[in-house]
Structure 1
Amino acid sequence: MARLSRNIRNQWIYLFVVVIIVIFGDAKKSKISDETKIRDDFDENLYRSFYTSDNRKISIYNNFTQPFSIYLFRRYLSSLGQWEMTLNNYNNGSDYKEESPDHILWKTFLDPQFMEKSKIGQKLIRAVKHFKAINKKSTDTPSRDDDVSAIFYLTGKWKKNDYGDIVFYDDNNEIVSAVHPLAFRMVMFDSSIEHLYKPPAIDRYDPLKTIHIKLTKSSEKLRNGIEYYKKKFEHRRNIRNTKLNDIASVSANRVIDVEKYITRRYVSENGKKIYVLDNLFTPEELEGLRKLVKYKEYFYTYIHDDGSDGVSWMAIFSVQDFANSNLWKIHQQVVNHVGSRDIYFPYDVSSNMIRNNVNRRLHSDYLSITDQWTMVTYLNPNWIAQKGEETAYFESADDDNNYITEMQERRRMMKISNQENQENQENQEDQGQEENHEELSKEYMKAIQEEKRGSVNKFY
């Protein structure tokens, strides 16, 4: 096929990638010159087709693209994907946004021009003609509309016990077919067919990744989709460029009596300390901090080294922005009170989203020879003991080990420690680590000193 047929001319691509996460976007029809010679063998790629009772079709294509294309696409999504959580309220696991009727937790919205230019996007549009041309059973029922959806797998090796099937349903809720994940497989179907992503097995180390694309001949849907993407992208960019003091305001120049907020103390056998502080932040300040969960830019990783905490979803803060914030001033007063030095510097600040199926690990945040502290603020409201997900602290990282304590999460609580810990929180936000860092620049140290005297300077 050297050019697109007219029956798919104004097609709109709605891209979203599922990993238990999902990716989402849209694109216009790709334009292919008459001189471009494209070699597609969809007849050979077609594995099988299924039909609903009213003759709507589901077709499975194997070996749809080359391994190198999959590798590049996955790298692109890992490095440039703007992942966001699709819950309206992260403390309510069933309250999904309108844009996520499939209840897929993580999505990222892509530039439509990217999909238009990608080889996968171009080939998927060409595949629609083949899909439409496959002989169908005769029926007296008119088509509901002409929209088509495609699901393309970005998985590597996938075993049958990894699960993750996509199940298609007829109008009477009977199963029409189930499609198992397979590398380089693409499934194309009538968009009106109900379908459900089944989650991968709990012990599957790598989540399920797919591109889910919706195509239509409606130019109105195309315009609406592109406009929706532009508005959403602009909104999130503006929010992410907002200073920490503006998006999560904490009272400026508040001097606190740290000792008054300390409710528990623990000491390990080797003298490492853990402090628990309650009600350090006001309810209004905590509500502001919770906005960070909604607007921060998250990154996903399933590859963890031996010293990792095992957290898959993390949003990194600008250290400069954090160091200039009122939030840091509160942290600074706490660490100066419990620590042995007058000056500490923040060097690693993050927001962690932790679900109950995440494989957290026993880990230490630092070398034991340094004077360093980790500070965590819990933001979940109304946490109860029945939900579990305590944080456990151990004497060491060895297998033959003893507990120092376990801690139940509560909103308004901060913990500060310099001890091995196992993070087990459900949907917590981690507000970073503080360290005495002897090698920081003299300019940075001078700025800290001036700030302590009341003159706020920007760092770096």
Structure 2
Amino acid sequence: MRYHKSVSLVAIVLVFALWQDSVVGKKYDHQKKKSHSKEKPHTKYSAAGNFDFDAHLTKTFRTLSDEKISVYDDFLRPSDIYLLRLYVVSLGQWEHTLKDPNDGIKAETVDKDHITWKTRINFAKLEKTSVGQRLLAGVNHFLNASESKYHFYEAAFKLVRRGDIPLISTDASPEEKDITMVIQLVSKWKKNDYGDILFYDQDEEVAAAIHPRLARCIIFDASIPYIHKPPSIDYKFGQMFLTIKLTKSEEKVKEFHDQWKLKYSKRNAARNADFVTAHKSKEAPKLDISKYQTKKVETPDGKKIFVFDGLFKNEELEELRQSIKNARFYYDDSVDSGTDNVQWIAGFNIDSYTKSYFWQIQKQVAAYVSGKDQWYPYDVACNMIRSADHTQIHTDCADVADEWTFLLYLNPGWKSSYGGETAYTTNNSDISEFVTEVRPRYGRVVIFQGTIPHSARPPAHDFKGIRYSFAVKMANTEHQARVNRFMEDFRLYKGLIDGTLQSAKEAIRMRGRTRYEKSLINRLTTDEMEPELEQAQGNEEEEEGPPPGYKGERGPEGEGEEGYEGQEGEGEGMEQDREEMDPTRIYTHAYEFEENEGASKYVMKEFDTIVSNIKSADGKGEKLREPLKNFVDRLASMHVKTSDKIIRNL
């Protein structure tokens, strides 16, 4: 059982969700295409050069002002969709676009479409890939031109969830003559899931309504008003798509590329900077914590919950609140009964946090409530919850663990009518009673033992912003905290090598092979894909010649096997003795390590090395700081390299 759904665990869950899709459905429904030209069968998954656009054109619409909308089905190969989803789900650099995340009434966004979550990528790199070239060729077909001189000037993955409120918008004026493309990355989509795209005439009547479908591409004149409708309230997952904007203006391309580079560099600089208030950590006063206590509650089995008000000044809270905008965001829409089911989390580095003013105050609070002063953080994050989310009762640690959780509410002007309480229950079953509920107040602190079942309730439906609760989980020693942190980071590390890297390597090597592409359709739309995949790989020799897009040479970094640039590590599996590698044999309340047979030698060697460091540390957490820091640095480096390689190999 997983006891924590921390930042790292979110990433690994997402990686393996691509291997066993959470949206259960039947095999991909190849409906007969309606075309303005003669229908043609298309069983080959071809490269851009010989793609039959006429055969894939499903519908064409015209607005009253003669602007054009065209719909193409099976526009990209399943391997292309797989790689795009692999990138955005496990590696994408998400950002939220609310101007003021705490404005729950207007909830205005920076962008006109009012879509809250986006991942903007390097459109110049994407344009040079085989996928980019097919997209450009699609624009030429849309314009009925052999060469259109259009270029990408923006590319963004977007996510729309139930309860979101997108707005009607246009991407350009009629005079600019820009083009927009939307590529659907949804899984099996049912008729009652909603999520349609509506296009409007100038009189605000509907000109076209288009249903979501995997690998569907919609190309249209960018001056047409349109809106992405959110999924139905019964649909618990996100609707994901890639939007690409194109122009003939070289000045516009340069302007947007410069803006993207500047924004990217600023965000990375903010993420790599010290945690806010680090400059004043030495100024933290010795507080009489009892003066700030406003509530104390005990559960029937004697576990404690404390509430404090006024520990932090407004300017300190504002610094923390603003820093969340530049945090690294993690998204997980999987449904897991053992976790909190929070879909959006902003993560922070624990070593950076321990240098902050906030940690200096938190240590005093933890010592006051527990009577111990050796507490150390192992998970520092901010839960971000919206009104349509569905959170769950959970615990933060194993029943035998001695751990506390520190919560800090960060929404100014929160009204009681907004809801969003933190609920505590007597047990984690359907037959339980409430111990208490704590309402959010700006700057309020709640600290409680991590074994108490609890849940952050979503805000009321009339609050359209984000409910923020800054959460820090603490172990009773620095040594145990670093063991906990390592176990979570190792899950991510193992996922990047055995999940993302190996999946990307396989897709790049096998792309274009008919049997493999057919197996990916099943993988993308059902959870019954293993037999199909094995059959496709077993019949690989039936395919003649190298697959389209296979490079057939070593990458420029001189690493890895042929066909995949700079692949790190080895793909061969190795067996390990569970008693030797399982840290729960060493620390009774460390997380359960779920061994995968596909674990690479590189990963297991890394694991063995750090477990040796843990054994030799003699319970002294400071001895683990440097080796675990180096480990996390390699994680970050691999994250960047992997995402870049996937984009380059599309």
Find the counterpart in structure 2 of residue 84 from structure 1.
Answer: 95
Matched with 1:131 is: 142
Q: Identify if the C-alpha distance between structure 1 residues 372 and 199 changes in structure 2 by more than 3 Å, giving closer, same or farther.
A: same
Secondary structure at the residue paired with 1:144? Answer: helix
One-letter amino acid of the counterpart of residue 218, structure 2: V
Which residue identity lines up with residue 88 of structure 1 in the other structure?
K
Q: Counterpart of 2:492? A: none
Match of 1:96 in 2: 108
Question: Secondary structure of the residue that 1:363 maps to in structure 2?
Answer: coil
Q: Which residue of 1 aligns with 2:293?
A: 262
1:143 CA displacement: 6.4
Match of 1:138 in 2: none
In the alignment, structure 1 residue 421 sits paired with structure 2 residue 454? yes
Distance 1:274 1:405 in 2: 9
Measured in 1, the distance between the counterparts of 2:81 and 2:228 equals 21
Aligned to 2:69: 58
Alignment partner for residue 435 of structure 1, among 471, 475, 487? 475
Q: Give the equivalent residue in structure 2 for 1:161.
A: 192
- Say which of 371, 374, 379 aligns to 1:343: 374
Deviation at 1:346, TM superposition (A): 0.7
If each structure's strand is expressed as a fraction of its own residues, which one has the higher value?
1
Change (3 A) 1:425 1:328: farther
Name the CA distance, whole Å, in 2 between partners of 1:256 and 1:190. Answer: 62
- Alpha-carbon distance, 1:76 to partner: 0.8
Q: CA deviation at 1:39?
A: 1.3
> Residues 113 and 218 (structure 1 numbering): CA distance in 2 closer, same or farther, change over 3 Å?
closer
Residue 445 of structure 1 and its aligned partner are, at CA, apart by 4.0
Is 1:206 the counterpart of 2:206 in the alignment? Answer: no
Q: Which moved more, 1:435-444 or 1:125-134?
A: 435-444
Distance 1:257 1:202 in 2: 47
Asked whether the equivalents of residues 276 and 320 of structure 2 are also in contact (C-alpha less than 8 Å), the reply is no
Q: 2:267 is matched with which residue: 216, 224, 236?
A: 236
8 A Cα contact 2:97 2:115, kept in partner: yes
Counterpart mapping for 1:51-450 below 5 A: 51-93=62-104, 94-98=106-110, 100-133=111-144, 144-246=175-277, 252-418=283-449, 419-426=452-459, 427-437=467-477, 439=480, 442=617, 445=620, 447=622
**Distance in 1 separating the partners of 2:235 and 2:282:** 44
CA distance in 2, matches of 1:246, 1:443: 32
Task: Give the % identical residues.
Answer: 36
Number of matched residues? 409
SS in 2 for 1:362: coil
Distance 1:317 1:112, change over 3 A: same
Once the 2 structures are TM-superposed, how far is the Cα of residue 446 of structure 1 from its aligned partner?
A: 6.5
Q: Which runs of 5+ in 1 are unaligned?
A: 1-35, 135-141, 449-456
* Matched letter for residue 96 of structure 1: E
Question: Contact 2:48–2:131 (CA<8 Å) still a contact in 1?
Answer: no
Please give the alpha-carbon distance, in whole angstroms, between the structure 1 residues aligned to 2:206 and 2:323: 41
The 1-side partners of 2:73 and 2:268 are apart by: 38
TM-score scaled by length of structure 2: 0.60
8 Å Cα contact 2:374/2:476 also seen in 1: yes
Tell me the amino acid that sits aligned with residue 456 of structure 2: E
TM-score by length of 1: 0.84
Relative to structure 1, is the Cα distance of residues 119 and 113 closer, same or farther in structure 2, using a 3 angstrom cutoff? same
**Deviation, structure 1 residue 289:** 1.1
CA contact (8 A) 1:248 1:291 kept: no
Distance 1:47 1:122 in 2: 21
Q: What residue is the counterpart of 1:137 in the other structure?
A: none
TM-align CA RMSD: 2.3
The alpha carbon displacement at 1:420 in A equals 1.0
Structure-2 residue corresponding to 1:49 = 60
Q: Deviations over 1:188-231 (max 9, x none)?
A: 00000000111111221221111111111111111111111011
Corresponding residue number in structure 2 for 1:4: none
Q: In the aligned structure 1, how far is the partner of 2:367 from the partner of 2:73?
A: 61
Q: Label 1:72 to 1:181 Cα distance change in 2 as closer, same or farther (>3 A).
A: same
Alpha-carbon separation, structure 1, partners of 2:422 and 2:212: 35
**1:376 shift after superposition:** 0.5
C-alpha distance after superposition, 1:66-120 (max 9, x if no partner):
222111111111233211111111111434344x100000112212343123333
Asked whether the 8 Å contact 1:293–1:429 carries over to 2, the reply is no
Q: Residue 58 of structure 1 aligns to which amino acid in structure 2?
A: I
Q: Is the CA contact 2:388–2:458 (under 8 Å) kept in the aligned structure 1?
A: no
Deviates further, 121-130 or 435-444: 435-444
Per-residue Cα deviation, 1:353-412 (whole angstroms, up to 9, x for no partner): 111111101100011222210110001011111111211110000101100011110011
Secondary structure at the aligned position of 1:232 is classed as helix
SS at match of 1:349: strand
Query: Does the 8 Å contact 2:277/2:358 carry over to 1?
Result: no
Which whole-Å CA distance do the structure 1 matches of 2:279 and 2:332 have between them? 26
Partner of 1:28: none
Contact kept in structure 2, 1:320 and 1:459, CA below 8 Å: no
Q: Distance in 1 between matches of 2:228 and 2:315?
A: 38
Q: Which has the higher contact order (CA 8 A, sep 6+)?
A: 2
- 2:381 and 2:352 mapped to 1: Cα distance? 12
Kindly report structure 1 stretches of 4+ aligned residues shifted beyond 6 Å: none
Change (3 A) 1:349 1:162: same
Secondary structure at the residue paired with 2:437?
strand
SS of 1:71's partner is helix
Indicate the SS of the match to 2:284: coil
Q: Which moved more, 1:69-78 or 1:244-253?
A: 244-253
Gaps (5+ residues) in structure 2? 1-46, 146-172, 460-466, 483-613, 630-650
Deviates further, 108-117 or 215-224: 108-117
**2:48–2:133 Cα contact (<8 Å) kept:** no
Please say if residues 248 and 292 of structure 1, whose CA atoms lie closer than 8 Å, have aligned partners that are also in contact. no
1:418-448: CA deviations, max 9, x gaps?
1110111541132311111464564884759
Is 1:39 the counterpart of 2:50? The answer is yes
| Structure 1, 353-362 or 299-308: larger mean CA deviation | 299-308
Structure-2 residue corresponding to 1:21: none
Cα distance in 2 between the residues matched to 1:67 and 1:344: 49
Question: 8 Å contact 1:392–1:424 — kept in the other structure?
Answer: yes
Letter paired with 1:208:
Q
Report the residue type matching 2:224 in the other structure. Answer: I
Q: Kindly indicate which of the two structures has a greater share of residues assigned to helix.
A: 2
SS in 2 for 1:44: helix
Bigger shift: residues 431-440 or 418-427: 431-440
Distance 2:469 2:123 in 1: 32
8 Å CA contact retained: 2:406, 2:448? yes
User: 1:360 is matched by which residue type in structure 2?
Assistant: T
Give the Cα–Cα distance (whole angstroms) in 2 for the partners of residues 428 and 280 of structure 1.
Answer: 17
CA distance 1:252–1:53, change in 2 (3 Å): same
Separation in structure 2 between the aligned mates of residue 246 and residue 201 of structure 1, nearest angstrom: 42
Structure 2: how far apart are the matches of 1:413 and 1:143?
51
Which amino acid counterpart does residue 350 of structure 2 have in structure 1? Answer: V
Contact 2:407 2:470 in 1 (8 A): yes
